[in-house]
């Protein structure tokens, strides 16, 4: 296979892997919405024969909610003032509420009821209860679904399942890949913009690069000032070279927002990154605030690799160990920079500069 075909195949695989993740997220939101809707329906004494039709009409509403939260609202926030974007999001929720109300009436008609829900007593429902009941059901379903999504956003489903099963109560050793992404010239930017505007810039930056992290199935380990640390299990990070793709997807996201940053701040944030992988010890710590933390030299080494970007004139550096783990990656151009002395390390570390293979794009 020619180099061009290899690059095209690699890019297509990564593209569809990212799209699958978005579709899976929308699908999981739809399923969660239907689950909550059916649970609330049972609490409202909805007849069991109406549950299946209610699930069938509720699933498209849940999927629409997923599209609104995953695709539409983030795009609105990027392009419009927050208040206007929130108002438009409210309009979207209003339309979904009307669909849910229509679905309740449709299902009630299908099962031969005057209204879908029943009352525990013989007295008919008061009119005001009929008016507020459907919005209340919709609001509760959206709130619970959103909370579940926020819980899953901080970690992979596998990691959540492991925590629920009691894993990491005791330290465990595992292989992971880490990507440290840091804003360049942050001190100068803080002096230029002032604390408030600089904080808004950092918030916008983190928000704009988040889709790249999600699309490559990364987990945000922590935010440290103007730095974000992303992590993958070694198998996940190596597949489709997600640990490399994440950085370049971040670059594309910030480039697409070039004019917005110029208009708002007069500057466009630039960033650098370092990546490395290896064995770490993972453990759940804390009592009032519990958090999964990683211990090991891998994190220190990754931080030091990222710190070398300025002195080596690079935007993205990876270790030789990670380069060898990734194998052939025709979409990227790797430039060996030789052994580099990293602060706190007794021996030198072989580093590679990584760039997209531009002549073939």
- In this predicted model, what pLDDT tens digit does every residue of 216-233 receive, in sequence order? 888 899 998 889 999 999
- For residue 78, pLDDT beyond 80: no
- For residue 283, pLDDT beyond 80: yes
List the one residue out of 149, 141, 144, 140 whose CA is nearest residue 28: 149
For residues 103-117, give the mean pLDDT: 81
- For residue 3, pLDDT beyond 70: no
CA-to-CA dists, residue 53 to 42, 44, 50, 147, angstroms: 14, 16, 6, 26
Confidence of residue 237 (pLDDT cuts 50, 70, 90): very high
Identify the residue with better confidence: 302 or 73. Answer: 302
- For residue 8, pLDDT beyond 70: no
- For residue 122, pLDDT beyond 70: no
Q: Which of 10-14, 165-169, 205-209 has the lowest mean pLDDT?
A: 10-14
Virtual torsion, Cα 336, 339, 342, 348, nearest 10 deg: 150
Write down the pLDDT at residue 337. Answer: 92
Coil vs helix vs strand at 166: coil
The dihedrals phi and psi of 340, each to the nearest 5 degrees, come to -120, 140
**Domains with residue ranges and CATH for the chain:** 3-153 (no CATH), 168-360 (3.30.70.1230)
pTM: 0.71
Report the mean per-residue pLDDT for the chain: 83
Cα 267 to Cα 260: distance, rounded to the nearest angstrom = 10
3-state helix, strand, coil in the chain (%, to 5): 60, 20, 20
Cα 309 to Cα 318: distance, rounded to the nearest angstrom = 10
């Amino acid at each position: 296979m020619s180099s061009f075909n290899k690059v095209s195949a690699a890019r297509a695989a990564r593209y569809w892997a990212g799209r699958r993740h978005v579709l899976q997220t929308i699908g999981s939101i739809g399923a969660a919405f239907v689950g909550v809707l059916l649970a609330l329906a049972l609490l409202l004494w909805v007849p069991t024969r109406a549950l299946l039709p209610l699930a069938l009409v509720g699933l498209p509403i849940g999927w629409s909610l997923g599209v609104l939260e995953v695709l539409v609202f983030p795009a609105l926030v990027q392009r419009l003032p927050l208040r206007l974007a929130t108002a438009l999001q409210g309009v979207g929720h209003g339309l979904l509420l009307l669909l849910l109300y229509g679905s309740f009436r449709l299902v009630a008609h299908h099962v031969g009821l005057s209204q879908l829900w029943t009352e525990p007593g013989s007295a008919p429902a008061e009119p005001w209860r009929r008016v507020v009941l459907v919005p209340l059901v919709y609001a509760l379903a959206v709130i619970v679904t959103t909370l579940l999504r926020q819980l899953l956003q901080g970690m992979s489903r596998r990691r959540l399942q492991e925590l629920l099963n009691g894993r990491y109560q005791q330290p465990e050793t595992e292989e992971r890949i880490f990507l440290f992404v840091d804003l360049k010239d942050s001190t100068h930017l803080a002096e230029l913009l002032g604390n408030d505007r600089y904080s808004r810039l950092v918030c916008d930056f983190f928000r704009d690069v988040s889709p790249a992290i999600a699309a490559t199935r990364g987990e945000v380990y922590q935010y440290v000032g103007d730095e974000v640390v992303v992590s993958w299990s070694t198998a996940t990070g190596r597949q489709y070279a997600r640990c490399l793709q994440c950085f370049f997807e971040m670059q594309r996201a910030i480039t697409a927002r070039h004019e917005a940053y110029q208009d708002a701040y007069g500057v466009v944030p630039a960033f650098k990154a370092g990546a490395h992988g290896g064995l770490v010890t993972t453990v759940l710590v804390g009592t009032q605030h519990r958090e999964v933390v990683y211990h090991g030299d891998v994190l220190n080494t990754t931080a030091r690799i990222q710190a070398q970007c300025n002195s080596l004139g690079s935007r993205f550096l990876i270790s030789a160990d990670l380069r060898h783990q990734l194998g052939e990656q025709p979409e990227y151009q790797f430039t060996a920079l030789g052994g580099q002395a990293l602060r706190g390390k007794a021996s030198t570390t072989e580093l590679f500069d990584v760039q997209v293979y531009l002549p073939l794009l």
